[in-house]
Amino acid sequence: MSIRNLTWQQVIVSLALLAAVVVAYKLFGELPAGVLLVISGVVNLLLGRDPPRPPNGGNGSGTGNGLYLLGGSILVLVHASTGCAAPQTRPQDDVELRDLAATLSKCRGEGRDAGTYAAYESCKVRELGR
């Protein structure tokens, strides 16, 4: 069974899936579960389709094998991307900047409650060490 037996629609959808994986990875620095779910669903739809029957009335058996290979390759790429290639520092950095914003907000609240800049400053020193 070769890839030549795929319909052009199946090839286009498969290429679109690969493009979706690349775009999602570039955007998020990782592949979110939702993207994986959508991709898995579309791959399953592809695999679940009735294979096109040849004009001579045969059963078209074996046509699905190419899809299994293609779908499997996509899933392997997906797992390889999430397991090996995702940068580990970017999400942590985002969280740290968000933590800083939350800490500053908390200290502003303490300063407002006390009504003094010193209260804000002491909270900042306590929370941030500066």
Task: Give whichever of 23 and 45 is closer to other proteins, judged by the CB atom.
Answer: 23
Q: Which of 7, 12, 93, 125 binds other proteins (CB under 8 A)?
A: 93
Judged by CB under 8 A, the number of residues near other proteins is 19
| Residue 104 binds other proteins, judged by CB under 8 A | yes
Q: Which of 53, 79, 112, 126 binds other proteins (CB under 8 A)?
A: 112
**Min separation Cβ 52 and other proteins, Å:** 31
| Residue 100 binds other proteins, judged by CB under 8 A | yes
Q: Which amino acid is at 62?
A: G
Q: Is 34 exposed, middle or buried (0-12, 13-18, 19+ CB in 10 A)?
A: exposed
Q: Which of 68, 116, 125, 126 binds other proteins (CB under 8 A)?
A: 116
Instruction: Compose the 31-50 pattern: x for residues touching other proteins by CB under 8 A, - for all others.
Output: -x------------------
SS (H, E, C) the chain: CCHHHCCHHHHHHHHHHHHHHHHHHHHHCCCCHHHHHHHHHHHHHHHHCCCCCCCCCCCCCCHHHHHHHHHHHHHHHHHHHHHHHCCCHHHHHHHHHHHHHHHHHHHHHHHHHHCCHHHHHHHHHHHHCC
Residues at the contact surface with other proteins, assessed by CB under 8 A: 27-28, 32, 93, 97, 100-101, 104, 107-108, 111-112, 115-117, 120, 124, 128, 130
